[in-house]
A and B are shown apart, each in its own frame.
Chain A
Amino acid sequence: MYFEVHQPFRLNRFSVFNIGKNSSSSADYFNQKLNRQIFEKVAKKCYLPTNEVLLNLIKETDGKFRISYSLTGTFIECCERWMPSVIDSFRNLYDTGAVDFIEETYYHSLAGLYDDLTEFKDQVAMHREMMKRVFGYKPQIFRNTEAIYDNRIASTIESMGYKGIITEGTEKILSWRSPNYLYKPVNGSIKVLMRNYQLSDDVGFRFSAKGWVGYPLTADKYAKWMASNHGDLINLFIDYETFGEHQWTETGIFEFLKHLPHEVFKHKHLNFVTVSEAADRYQPIGDIDVPWAISWADADRDVSTWLGNEMQVACFNELKDLGLKIKDQKDPELLHTWRCLQTSDHLYYVSTKGFEDGNVHAYFSHYDNPYDGFINYMNILQDLKQKVS
């Protein structure tokens, strides 16, 4: 089981009339009051209680219950700024020896999709340094933002020395093959862990859906489903906010979690491993070829969530093109601002995908609609451009 833990720095309202007129610092782009409110709310509803449940489970099972986390750089900054106790509770988990961490880009960015991957590698290195500083740990497994993956990213990560990389176990790539094995890229030998989206989304999306045939989902039922899966391993990769935030306490999600390991251990052939243990234990059984990027997002399982319309592409290019100039300036604050603006959430808010996915987008967005998201983000990018030149 692996959990993604992330917070973006949401933006302040920035009018077109402010462009080039605001002489104050670029740090003012971020609405830290709102970010703090949201962070503190999620910490109380999700991070702290879930960490406690998982810590108890590890103790109860003598470390046989094993899990992995990916913590983004912006998330760690939130903790350090507003609630350092959250980091302590992650340290407590790490100290059990039953927990490991996953690498990713520090800013949870789309830098893996840039034509030049220098910035991508820089952000991975920043995350590595952060993990070393905060936990004294060196991750072996990489998972890109929202599991975005293609052959190019895989070979870059392999060349940086990682043992494994995580992505979505979508039929688009696997076709008839099972996600319950390790694979390797057609152009390399790094081990690829494929998310079992069926079982992962049963918890993440469908847990409290009353119209779903699996409702109500109990730990013993879920453990039986796991037990009936064939293969070497089941990759359960779940957004951490599922616990207590997307699925409220009242849905019974914590009770489910508390019982899950015990129910799983009733099946003799099942046990838990961390992602790095999984990569050590198993060998790839086949190649995957991913020339076009996939991800775990939306029904499309590609990058259209962030680059699906013209407005998103315009922002993406605008931001990317600012990079060379910003790096020339050697101004650390400007560089950090530019990178915080690369967090994928800002483009997610500009998605116009309709119906099912659009509803999910609206749930996560603090804008009235994607157009407002575009205007605000683009105004800020224009202002940053003027600050740089």
Chain B
Amino acid sequence: MKIAMIGWEYPPFKAGGLGTHCYGLTRSLAEKNVQVDFYMPKTKHRANSDKPNLKIIEVGETEIFPYDRPNDKELAGMFFEAVYRYNDLVVQKVKGRYDAIHCHDWLTVKAGVALKEKYGVPLILSVHSTEYDRSGWIYPNDWFINIEREGMQKADKIIAVSHFTKQVIVEKYGIDPNKIAVVHNAVYPLGQGEKKNLVLFLGRLTIQKGAEFFLRAAKKVLENEQTTFVVAGMGDMFPKLIKEAIHLGIANKVIFTGLLTEEEVKHIYRIASVYVMPSVSEPFGITALEAISAGTPTIVSKTAGVAEAFNNCLRVDFWDTDEMANKIVSLLRYDPLHRTLSEQGKQEIDLFTWDRVASKTIDVYQGVIHT
């Protein structure tokens, strides 16, 4: 079986779950004797493969922006143009015989649809997030939605990262539920470090990720408990969040780290005592699996995809900052709770392998090829 996979990002350069997913998926597919040509925009970092079945093919000279939904108008214009140019170049570059085309999110939909039509092979679309998620369900942009819908309609099969996302695809995009397979994400376990008294948020500082709720919970916690809060990541909400921390009077207890390197990310997951993912809308939330794999008890938003798939974590409504604070303090105060969640979490993580993701993806391929 030979697959042309159209990606957008790939480690070492990545901005989100899409890149992490493509990395784990392509490597495990290759190990299972699927030949994968992974197309992606050329960057200054070079992405490499050490697997004979997996070829990374970099296309064009496109500069990647570390945002998936730029707010700044000028930047947005350049970004969309880059996405378009990349999609055009991919269509020109993809040659040869493939059993299927597999593309990821709106960023690669245009190329996927064009290639399906050009070569008459099945198209698989993975949905890692929709415009509704990225906008936090506030003023979602039709321009993105239309591209997403076109991809969903033209695809022979859609892979959603959660039942939550499947539901969105059915309800908001009017797609037949039988066309959608759910494949939950996975993680390469990080291993535990020596825990420090700190509570971590890590993610893009966008409206989708809900960092402001983390700060409000922090305020409540700090009235009762000595600890340090860390906000790791960058994004357009950054200035607002700093102002909010000052306004809440907790600026001396909150550290904003800015963008972290991959090594720094791993380190901070390992030493954090609690990880909080208060996303307003989260199709899956791989960061939760990363934190749990580092032995860090994790509080996730109830509607996050990971919350439906993973048992050994705590769940809150993202807006319920009182309950979020209750859970943070309980984790800091009650060692038996902390230890049990940490241990049981690490055990459950072993079920979330990329090998499993690849097997389920192969099932999807087999369902559309030869039909």
Which A residues have a C-beta under 8 Å from some C-beta of B? 15-17, 309-311, 313-314, 352, 354, 368-369, 371-372, 374-375, 378-379
Contact = CB atoms under 8 A, between A and B. Distances in A.
Interface string B323-342: 10111011001101101110
A372 B313 CA distance: 10
Nearest to A369: B311
Interface string B295-330: 000000000000000011011000000110111011
B330 A17 contact: no
Taking chain A's interface residues, is the majority helix, strand, or loop, or is none over half, making it mixed?
helix
14 contacts: A16-B325, A16-B329, A16-B330, A17-B325, A310-B340, A311-B336, A369-B315, A371-B314, A371-B340, A371-B341, A372-B314, A375-B330, A375-B337, A378-B337
B326 A311 contact: no
B333 A310 contact: no
A368 B326 CA distance: 15
Contact of A374 (B315, B325, B334, B344): B334
Contacts of B311: 354, 369
Contacts of B329: 16-17
B327 A375 contact: yes
A16 B334 CA distance: 11
B220 interface: yes
A17 B341 CA distance: 21
A314 B336 contact: yes
A15 B316 CA distance: 13
Report which residue of B311, B325, B334 has the largest number of chain A beta carbons within 10 angstroms of its beta carbon.
B334
Nearest to A313: B336
Contact of A375 (B312, B326, B344): B326
B330 A379 contact: yes
Given A375-B327, A375-B334, A375-B337, A15 B322 contact: yes
Report which residue of A16, A374, A378 has the largest number of chain B beta carbons within 10 angstroms of its beta carbon.
A16
A311 B327 contact: no
Given A17-B220, A17-B224, A352-B344, A371 B326 contact: no
B219 to A, nearest CB: 12
A11 to B, nearest CB: 14
A78 B344 CA distance: 37
Contacts of B327: 375
Contacts of B339: 310
Nearest to A378: B334
Contacts of A374: 334, 336-337
B326 A16 contact: yes
Contacts of B312: 352, 371
Contact of A17 (B315, B322, B334, B337): B322
Contacts of A354: 311
Contact of B337 (A15, A311, A313, A368): A311
Taking chain B's interface residues, is the majority helix, strand, or loop, or is none over half, making it mixed?
helix
A313 B339 CA distance: 13
* 6 smallest beta-carbon distances between A and B, as pairs: A310-B336, A314-B336, A15-B326, A375-B330, A16-B329, A311-B336
Contacts of A368: 315
B330 A378 contact: yes
Contacts of B341: 371
A312 to B, nearest CB: 9
Nearest to A368: B315
B315 A16 contact: no
A17 B219 CA distance: 13
Contacts of A313: 336
A368 B316 CA distance: 10
A310 B334 CA distance: 11
A379 B334 CA distance: 10
A310 B338 CA distance: 10
A374 B336 CA distance: 10
A372 B329 CA distance: 13
Contacts of A375: 326-327, 330, 334, 337
A375 B340 CA distance: 12
Contacts of B326: 15-17, 375, 379
Contacts of A369: 311, 314-315
A51 B327 CA distance: 43
Contacts of A352: 312, 340, 344
Contacts of B334: 311, 314, 374-375, 378
A309 B343 CA distance: 11
Contact of B323 (A15, A311, A371, A378): A15
Nearest to A15: B326
Report which residue of A314, A371, A378 has the largest number of chain B beta carbons within 10 angstroms of its beta carbon.
A371
A352 B340 CA distance: 9
Contacts of A310: 336, 339-340
A354 B314 CA distance: 16
A372 B327 CA distance: 8
Contacts of B337: 311, 371, 374-375, 378
Contacts of B336: 309-311, 313-314, 374
A15 B220 CA distance: 12
A29 to B, nearest CB: 16
Given A17-B325, A354-B311, A368-B315, 13 more contacts: A16-B224, A16-B325, A16-B326, A17-B220, A17-B224, A311-B340, A369-B311, A369-B314, A371-B314, A371-B340, A375-B330, A375-B337, A378-B337
A375 B336 CA distance: 11
Interface in B221-238: 224
A372 B312 CA distance: 11
A371 B316 CA distance: 12
Contacts of A372: 314
